[in-house]
Amino acid sequence: MKSAPIAPDIRLRPDGITPCGPAFLSRLIEGKAFRGNAAEVLAVNAREFGDLVEIRIPGRRLLQCNHPELVQEMLVRDAPHHHRNIVMQRSKLVLGDGLLTSEEPLHMRQRRLAQPAFHRHRIAAYGEVIAQFTQAMTAGWQHGSIRNAHEDMLLLALRIVGKTLFNLDVENEVRQISAAVDSFMGFLPLAFLPFPELILSMPVPAMARIRRSRDSLDAFIYGVIRERRAHPGDRGDLLSMLLAAVDEEEHSGSMTDRQVRDECLTVLLAGHETTASGLTFALWLLATHPEVQDQLAAECHRVLGGRAPAAEDYAQLKFAEQVFAEAMRLYPPVWVTARTAAEDYEYRGYRVRKGTVLLAPQYVIHRDARFYPDPMRFDPSRFDEEAKAARPRLAYFPFGAGNRQCIGEGLAWMEGVLALATIAQQWRLAPAEGMPPQPPLAAEVTLRPKAPMLLRVERR
């Protein structure tokens, strides 16, 4: 049963028009402006100033939306007023014009062309791949050994995306791609800075490494594209679908090699980093909540009976799905969604100026006690059907919302649920000695662990 709507708490400055928010100068003098990670800064803003926060910094204004109703207005209703945030705009230097960075009308055309690659029946074909690679990973675990969960999950997610995107299952090649991707990711935080083109071209080792990584990935991706163009056919991977896609709605043809490259790079970067972080935090939460871990193992035993999971088991692994959902509530890999106002427009009596950055922080809303009582408690039952129905839809949006909602969401859910089920039915997890009760977080391009996530693994 849906509860009565909770209206946004909007507080105004003395002018009666402008939303409240922190004063940059006083925070700078007090030393608070750069204290703590960015996600926690946004959480403090919400606690102190309510659901609509205006943040003034030299040369820019930001509008932080901390309520599902405001998020719906920002990401869905007012989407025509916005374009991508400054980080995504500048990331075109390395990502090109893929789904993460492109603007309309190119974005909508690319989404139409890419959509068949992510249809449900196509994703279902990858269930066996997910279970197979997860079992291969855990085959190298030793009873009683200590594993760095984040390192394991990054390699697992990259192996899965390598297979589902390129039909590539040679681990040595995957590790080479992993090294290039990790270096490549190092550029994205620099997109916050002015003149990123100049930064990328600087003759310093870090930038030279990123340029080499870009060239290495380009050589690999374009090489695969050339081979596929010369020998066309469906090889059961996403790349086959991208190459075969034709825009019949607007009769604009198929993707160019550059467009295919941009989408492949987007899937590589976004498709492994976020899922790996979600799985890492899910394993950590299971390790620190043995009763939940036992409940998940019992479901896996009942549904799977000791065999590897397949795509058709997904619908029966309800508790595994709830565990993964609750992990992404507490630790959303995409911890904030940002847009930039492309024009002036009126918003709730407030004039949003062109260039204003609008923020919808998953990290804040997912931890809001109004929608999640005792929000820091790990409780997968928050995601049973009754509990979900009682909340506003955008009280939970780990994959975004609107016309830019993540196109790979279905694959991410399949990967998270089947990987967790594969691990939970065979292994018992516990934090390694000396690990802190709460994982330290790095809120950068994605939310990820700031330190190794060390877990002791024991066979069941």
Across 121-264, where does the E strand assignment appear?
145-148, 246-247, 253-254
* Residue in the block written with tokens 């989404």: 111
On whether residue 306 sits in a domain, the answer given is yes
Give me the domain span that covers residue 107.
Answer: 96-333+380-459
- Collapsing DSSP to helix, strand or coil, 338 comes out as strand
Across 322-391, where does the E strand assignment appear?
337-341, 345-347, 350-352, 357-360
On whether residue 420 sits in a domain, the answer given is yes
Give the H/E segment covering residue 65. Answer: strand 60-65
| 16 φψ region: left (φ > 0), alpha (ψ -120 to 50), beta (else) | left
Assess whether the previous peptide bond of 105 is cis (omega < 30° from 0). Answer: yes
| DSSP classification of residue 77 | I
Q: How far apart are CA 328 and CA 313, in angstroms?
A: 21
On whether residue 183 sits in a domain, the answer given is yes
Q: What is the pLDDT of residue 268?
A: 78
Q: How far apart are CA 256 and CA 174, in angstroms?
A: 25
On whether residue 285 sits in a domain, the answer given is yes
Q: Which amino acid is at 73?
A: E
On whether residue 237 sits in a domain, the answer given is yes
Q: What is the pLDDT of residue 170?
A: 56
Assess whether the previous peptide bond of 309 is cis (omega < 30° from 0). Answer: no
On whether residue 168 sits in a domain, the answer given is yes
Q: How far apart are CA 150 and CA 453, in angstroms?
A: 6
Does 65 belong to an annotated binding site? Answer: no
Structure tokens at 259: 């467009």
Q: How far apart are CA 346 and CA 441, in angstroms?
A: 36
Give the H/E segment covering residue 265. Answer: helix 257-287
- Residue ranges of alpha helices (H) inside 391-439 are 409-424
Assess contact for 361 and 35: CB atoms under 8 A: no
Assess contact for 395 and 405: CB atoms under 8 A: no
60-65 vs 357-360, strand pairing mode: parallel
| DSSP classification of residue 354 | T
Q: How far apart are CA 119 and CA 334, in angstroms?
A: 22
Beta pairing partners, 50: 10
Give the H/E segment covering residue 178. Answer: helix 171-185
On whether residue 229 sits in a domain, the answer given is yes
Domain count, the chain: 1
- CB atoms < 10 A from the CB of 9, how many? 13
Assess contact for 358 and 65: CB atoms under 8 A: yes
* Beta carbons within 8 Å of 457's beta carbon, 6+ residues apart: 138, 141, 142, 143, 144, 145, 146, 147, 427, 428, 429
Taking the chain, what is the end-to-end CA distance rounded to the nearest angstrom? Answer: 39
On whether residue 415 sits in a domain, the answer given is yes
Structure tokens at 295: 């409940």
Query: Which tens digit of pLDDT belongs to each residue from 275-330?
Result: 999 999 999 999 999 999 999 999 999 999 999 999 999 999 999 999 999 999 99
The widest CA-to-CA distance across the chain, in whole angstroms, is: 68
- CB atoms < 10 A from the CB of 143, how many? 10
All residue ranges of the chain with pLDDT < 70 are 1-3, 24-36, 85-96, 98-103, 169-197, 199-200, 206, 247-252
Give the H/E segment covering residue 441. Answer: strand 441-443
337-341 vs 82-84, strand pairing mode: antiparallel
Give the residue among 370, 366, 408 at the shortest CA–CA distance from 383: 366
- Collapsing DSSP to helix, strand or coil, 142 comes out as coil
Q: Which amino acid is at 54?
A: E
Helix/strand number for the chain, H first, E second: 19, 14
| DSSP classification of residue 254 | E
Alpha carbon 304 to chain centroid, angstroms: 28
Q: How far apart are CA 337 and CA 447, in angstroms?
A: 12
Q: What is the pLDDT of residue 200?
A: 67
Dihedrals φ, ψ of 257, to 5°?
-60, -40
CATH value at residue 306 = 1.10.630.10
447-449 vs 441-443, strand pairing mode: antiparallel
* Residue in the block written with tokens 């074909």: 125
User: CA 29, 30, 33: angle at the middle one, nearest 5?
Assistant: 85
